[in-house]
Structure 1
Amino acid sequence: MQHVHSFAAGQWIAPGSGARSIASAITGDVIADAGNDALDVQGMLAYGRDVGGPALRAMTFHDRAKMLKALALYLREHRPALYGVSYNTGATRSDHQIDVDGGIGTMLVYASKGRRDLPDAHVYLDGVPEQLGRSGAFMGQHICTPLQGVAVHINAFNFPVWGMLEKLAPTLLAGLPAIIKPATATCYVTEACVRLMLDSGLLPAGALQLVSGGLGDMLDHVDCQDVVTFTGSADTALKLRGNANILSNSVRFTAEQDSLNASLLGPDAVPGTPEFDLFVKEVQREMTAKAGQKCTAIRRIMVPQAQEQAVIEAISAGLANVTSGDPRDTATGMGPLVSGAQKRDVLEKAAAIGTEATRVFGDPDNFAMSDSKGAFVPPMLFHCANPDNANRVHDTEAFGPVSTIMGYSDLDHAIALLNRGQGSLVASVITHDGDVARAVAMGAGAFHGRLYFNNRDSMAEATGHGAPLPHMVHGGPGRAGGGEELGGSRAVMHYMQRTAIQGSPDILTAVGNRWVPGAAEHADKPHPFTRVYGDLELGDTFNSPAREITLDDIETFAHFTGDTFYAHMDDTAAKANPFFPGRVAHGYLLLSFAAGLFVQPDPGPVLANTGLDNLRFMKPVQAGDSIKVRLSVKVKTPRNDEYGEVRWHVTLTNQDDEQVAEYELLTMNAF
């Protein structure tokens, strides 16, 4: 008998009054208990806000990203322990890889994105500065800073590790502490993972707390600096969303809930094509992975009416090869549902679907595990002959290995059926026809959080209908909850406050730690290319001497590069062009000459030029004009212990001080 603890205000708390029993999905025997009505939930909120929050906010995005990477690598080393405790949830070894390995992989992605997409700073700059006054002395900039509360994550039973880590990674990266509340049925797996993370010593105090069991009245005490997320049923989401305190304090609330996800077989994907075989394989996998207990599992299967019988036969043949049984047995292809209560719910929902559709595969009263005391059900495939007049197949989610096939007459009919689900997390379309893909994207995109297209060209690399990837948003409108998770660095912003900053260029530079044109320049120092990374400061500037552009320069460059475009070679033709006054210098000639004007040629701390961004040409340059360069340190980003990236703001002006070109130069500079 395992006593699943909570971790509150730095202490492990054993189950107490109000503890609930937890049964094994395999045997039905009680294996654990969890819950303590005496938890000091207000103390937990205060501990996160007063201890965890300041510690995380003192770190930069890069510091927090390094912490996430170290944490993920530590968990990876201890995966076997998590696999071992997960079997009692009904998960097979391949299910562990979705949950445990998938969660660790998601954390690693966020660690990488934190270093690549976010600054080594405490403030995230959202967009570019806006000029609010005529001269540029008054500017605006949107910034994002961490909320100063906690994130309360209320998670579902089906992914006790991934469901936690996919929310926790962007939360910590944003600088916000978290309180995790897993579903009681599988909280013993989450507790094992939390223990590992806390034992690693990598997290600052207060960054992570755990509630095993009920939350008590915690949601009555959250405020505008807190975030509440929920994954689970629509009924529970509605109850939580309607909490008076959450409403009155405008607390951020995100729900990921019931979803009647669908998969569409394109009209072109007839039997014998790679797309037909791919479709059958994807449907079978999504019905049986995690015993169908996935928020992204395929619940509705839409196929051309002419292919209904062929699809029924192909999917049924595949399901017949899936072995249900003890998930600890390597021969098992699908384990039990998570609990007896979940089994009863799935059978009840399947019966409701059965009032409008005919079961064509899977008999819950007669299958290999019928006599088991565990929560076993077989894969069940239904066929709805008249989906236009059906309701239950479009509004009832049996959260298990249950799916319904229905036929469509044409693509418009298929799109209408897709949208009957009134909002889903994902719809997949298996087609090799780009026009079909575009029609579905335009007609059904508004009803689905993700559209997954796959065919013979992408199937070798595609990750599958049911795999939410950390790079892409996860969530959906309507029935799916209207929330949004993941999506790369977008997810980090869900735990931050966007604020509009207004002031002078110097003020914006100081707040954002990024030099803004018009802010103070420091041009009285040695050439910046002669100074190591650590000696450079924002606004350090080099002003070059002028160089005249001659007609010989233009012609030599043209013949040397082969760029003999008429605007550089034919004065009459150039004058006929509304953009040019006559023959003009090549834009890339100007860039080349600019480099010659600011480069310091001797070996020094500049190791490499790695590119340029945001190049634009504003005014043509003719023979007889001259150019000069201003080079200013805009942003500094350390990359490792040996060198860092310097982003330089570069402007080219002519003899009349008119700007002719602008760009950002990237170099790697030694420490």
Structure 2
Amino acid sequence: MGTQRDAGPVAAGSAAHANGTRRLLIGGRLVEAERTYPSLNPATGKVIGHAPDAAPAQAEAAVAAARRAFDTTAWPTDVDLRVRCLEQLYDALVEHKEELRELTIADTGSPRIVTHGAGLDEPLEIVRYYAGLLREHSFTEDLGENEVRGRRNRRWVEKEAAGVVAAITAYNYPNQLALAKLAPALAAGCTVVLKGAPDTPLVTLALAELIAEHTDIPAGVVNVLTSAGAATGEVLTTHPDVDVVTFTGSTATGRKIMAAASGTVKRVFLELGGKSAMVVLDDADLDLTAMAAAFTICSHAGQGCAITSRLLVQRGQHDAMVERVAAQLAGVRYGDPRDANTYMGPLISERQREKVDGMVRRAVEGGAKLVTGGEKVDPGFFYTPTLLSGVDPDSEIAQEEVFGPVLAVIPYDDEDDAVRIANNSAYGLSGAVHSASEARAIAVARRIRTGTLSINGGNYFAPDVPFGGFKQSGIGREMGVAGLDEFLERKAFATIVP
């Protein structure tokens, strides 16, 4: 592990105060909150900046601003304005990308290598994708004519903005999660109140600064909040002037949001937890799949909802696969996330590290074998890459989301048993199948009830690919045309043909 040094200065836009405190964006203005709270660098445990702790009254003000902008401005109907503003936002993000990179590394503990992918660079392309899609997307569908009681009717459907959107994000990939909600909502003509995750507020507030200072997005169309507690989020999920809630986070919180939103019958989009399985068929290359399994579980220290945290291996190959994965994990470099050679950074907080460690200890007490890892490393919130073998598919470690670098190896008897174990989960977000035969791998993948699947290492994650899950992994899809549809209402028309 590399030496932990001081985190260094946090990149600050022109709207950040000299003391490092950033501001909320409400009604087109960057404003302060009465209270602030510290944001810690998870690689060092040191404070790197302060975020405004928005009060419920400020959440109310943000909703009112979004409602006013939706009801009184041309934003919902002016497609050209929306295209221009999305292109301006994309240009601003690209221009300030390196500042955002350093801030993302410091605020999230994400290794530099991750920011060159899903941590930063790839999410920026979501904005450009929706600007391009908006240029060519038809908001009208012609249904042709029909005859009813002797009269001809011309029918069509128009798609219009759903209204005010409350977008609530998780801590692990704040750039990806914010832009995957914000870009399609804006493209659809909605107005937005974006609430950043309490653990990684600075990145989301930097986005607010770029919107306020570098785009023509009208006042109130985008509002950005951060808060340390739950009260602000409760305002957003229950407010009668909010039409859509889109949330990424834990399934437990997702259930609460569904219940809260039911009082006003809001449209709710949920991207929740996962316990995805990587199925290694008996003809797969064990060396390649061992490498894939090891480096996937260590990506961003396992803090990804779609990460394959269950490794399903044919019983006769179990020990050979465990040996190979352990060897690969031994080569994973973890430490200072600023170092370009670091592959794995820390967990987000000591609270999360305690949760991960507790689950590992309970797994061992329940009969799983700790092959490697299971250790805390200081300073910061590091946890060593961890491998558990001989895991019971019904145990806690195989059923509950860990959100840490912990891989559970589960033996199966035959192909049908592998599919049964893969589907033995309340979740259904992602998964992977490896086989020497692509046709065989695809056939097995089609039997697994998840929203996304990788075949022999294929990468499905891109702005034009819908992302979301089955079962308790959520409702709806982000990105792609499906992501735009989440923020549109359909209105049917009919007129008499003369």
TM-score, normalised with respect to structure 2: 0.89
Say if 1:385 and 1:204 are closer, same or farther in 2 by CA, change over 3 A: closer
Q: Is the 8 A contact 1:349 1:396 kept in 2?
A: no
Q: Aligned-pair distance for 1:412?
A: 0.4
Q: CA deviation at 1:439?
A: 3.5
Distance 1:386 1:100, change over 3 A: closer
1:94-135 CA-to-partner distances (Å, cap 9, x unmatched) read: 12122211210122222222223x03xxxx124643524487
Counterpart position of 1:449: 451
Tell whether the 8 Å contact from 2:312 to 2:410 is kept in structure 1 after alignment. yes
Q: 1:433 — aligned with what?
A: 437
Equivalent positions of 1:201-280 (< 5 A) are 201-213=215-227, 214=229, 215=232, 217-219=234-236, 221-223=238-240, 226-243=243-260, 246-271=261-286, 276-277=287-288, 279-280=289-290
**In structure 2, what is the equivalent of residue 485 of structure 1?**
477
Letter in 2 for 1:320: A
Matched with 1:59 is 78
Which residue of the partner structure matches residue 6 of structure 2? none
Cα deviation 1:488-518 (Å, max 9, x = unaligned): 1221121111122222358xxxxxxxxxxxx
Q: CA deviation at 1:136?
A: 7.5
- Following the alignment from structure 1 to structure 2, what is the Cα–Cα distance between the partners of residues 2 and 338? 20
Name the counterpart of 1:180. 194
Does the CA contact (< 8 Å) of 2:285 and 2:436 recur in 1? no
Distance 1:27 1:83 in 2: 17
- Aligned partner of 2:357 among 337, 340, 347: 347
2:386 corresponding residue in structure 1: 380
| Equivalent-residue separation in structure 2 for 1:152 and 1:225 (angstroms) | 7
CA RMSD of the aligned region, Å? Answer: 2.3
CA distance in 1, matches of 2:244, 2:389: 42
How many residue pairs match? The answer is 472
1:364 pairs with one of 375, 386, 393 = 375
CA drift of 1:298 comes to 1.2
SS in 2 for 1:473: coil
Deviation at 1:25, TM superposition (A): 0.6
Does residue 93 of structure 1 match 2:97?
Answer: no
SS of match in other structure, 2:194: strand
Aligned match of 2:135 in 115, 120, 123?
A: 115
Match among 83, 87, 96 for residue 69 of structure 1: 87
Deviations 1:546-566 (A, max 9, x none): xxxxxxxxxxxxxxxxxxxxx
Task: Supply the distance in 1 between the matched residues of 2:64 and 2:349 (Cα, whole angstroms).
Answer: 35
Match of 2:414 in 1: 410
What SS does the aligned partner of 2:428 have?
Answer: coil
Which stretch has the larger CA shift, 345-354 or 431-440? 431-440
Q: Distance in 2 between matches of 1:159 and 1:262?
A: 21
C-alpha distance in structure 2 between counterparts of 1:432 and 1:127, whole Å: 46
Deviation at 1:487, TM superposition (A): 4.5
Deviations 1:413-456 (A, max 9, x none): 00001101223211111224255235324422xx21112212xx
Alignment partners' CA distance in 1, 2:354 and 2:487: 37
The answer on 1:471 being equivalent to 2:464 is yes
Aligned equivalents of 1:424 and 1:307: distance in 2?
A: 26
Deviations 1:520-550 (A, max 9, x none): xxxxxxxxxxxxxxxxxxxxxxxxxxxxxxx
| Offset of residue 360 of structure 1 | 1.1
2:488 aligns with: 496
Q: Is the 8 A contact 1:52 1:205 kept in 2?
A: no
User: Could you tell me whether the CA contact under 8 Å between 2:359 and 2:397 is conserved in 1?
Assistant: no
The answer to whether the aligner puts 1:29 opposite 2:46 as a matched pair is yes
Q: Assess if the C-alpha contact under 8 Å between 1:75 and 1:197 holds in 2.
A: no
Equivalent residue, structure 2, for 1:635: none
Aligned equivalents of 1:362, 1:449: Cα separation in 2: 30
Residue 299 of structure 1 deviates from its aligned partner by 1.0
Partner of 2:98: helix, strand, or coil?
A: helix
Distance 1:505 1:48, change over 3 A: farther
Q: 1:388-407 alignment to 2 at 5 Å? A: 390-407=394-411
Q: Percent of aligned pairs with the same residue?
A: 27
**Do the aligned residues in 2 keep the contact of 1:234 with 1:258 (CA within 8 Å)?**
yes
The answer to whether residue 10 in structure 2 is matched with residue 10 in structure 1 is no
Map residues 281-292 of structure 1 onto 2, 5 A cutoff: 281-292=291-302
Task: Report the Cα distance in structure 2 between the residues aligned to 1:302 and 1:252, rounded to whole angstroms.
Answer: 36
Report the more deviating stretch, 51-60 or 151-160.
Answer: 51-60
Q: 1:421 to 1:220 in 2, by over 3 A?
A: closer
After superposition, the Cα gap between the structure-2 partners of 1:323 and 1:217, relative to the gap in structure 1 and judged at 3 Å, is closer
Q: Quote the offset at 1:285 in angstroms.
A: 2.5
Asked if 2 retains the 8 angstrom alpha-carbon contact of 1:150 and 1:227, the reply is yes
Offset at 1:381? 1.1
**1:330 offset after TM fit, Å?**
2.5
Mark the CA change 1:283 to 1:259 in structure 2 (over 3 Å): closer, same or farther.
same
1:523 is aligned to none
Q: Structure 1, unaligned stretches of length 5 or more? A: 507-671
**TM-score, structure 1 length as denominator?**
0.67
**Matched residues in 2 for 1:151 and 1:239: separation?**
18
Residues in 1 aligned to 2:34 and 2:417: alpha-carbon distance in whole angstroms: 55
Query: In the alignment, what sits opposite 2:334?
Result: 324
In structure 2, C-alpha distance between the alignment counterparts of 1:364 and 1:4, rounded to whole Å: 35
Q: Is the 8 A contact 2:29 2:212 kept in 1?
A: no
1:304 matches 2:321: no
Q: CA deviation at 1:59?
A: 1.0
Tell whether the 8 Å contact from 1:125 to 1:141 is kept in structure 2 after alignment. Answer: yes
Equivalent residue for 2:144? 129
Residue of structure 2 in register with 1:198 after alignment: 212
For 1:56, the aligned partner's letter is: W
Larger C-alpha radius of gyration, 1 or 2? 1
CA distance in 2, matches of 1:300, 1:480: 16
- Tell which has more relative contact order, 1 or 2 (C-alpha 8 A, sep 6+): 2
Secondary structure at the counterpart of residue 182 of structure 2: helix
Kept after mapping to 2: 8 A contact 1:171/1:495: yes
| Within-5 A mapping of 1:465-544 | 468-481=461-474, 483-504=475-496
Structure 1 residues 233 and 56 mapped into 2: Cα distance closer, same or farther (>3 Å)? same
Residue in 2 aligned with 1:159?
173
Q: Residues 337 and 375 of structure 1 are in contact (CA less than 8 Å); yes or no, is this contact kept in structure 2? A: yes
The residue aligned with 2:11 is: none
Q: Per-residue deviation at 1:311?
A: 1.7
Q: 1:31 to 1:250 in 2, by over 3 A?
A: same
Structure 1 residues 16 and 453: CA distance shift in structure 2, 3 A: same
Residue 650 of structure 1 corresponds to: none
Q: Distance in 1 between matches of 2:141 and 2:271?
A: 26
The 1-side partners of 2:414 and 2:336 are apart by 43
Q: Give the residue type in structure 1 aligned to 2:115.
A: H
Q: Is the 8 A contact 1:224 1:250 kept in 2?
A: no
Cα-to-partner distance string for 1:377-430 (whole Å, 9 max, x where unaligned):
11111112543xx32133221111111111111110000011012232111112
CA, structure 1 residues 385+342, in 2 after alignment: closer, same or farther (shift >3 Å)?
closer
Tell me, in whole angstroms, the C-alpha distance in 2 between the residues paired with 1:280 and 1:130: 58
**Equivalent AA in structure 2 for residue 79 of structure 1:** K
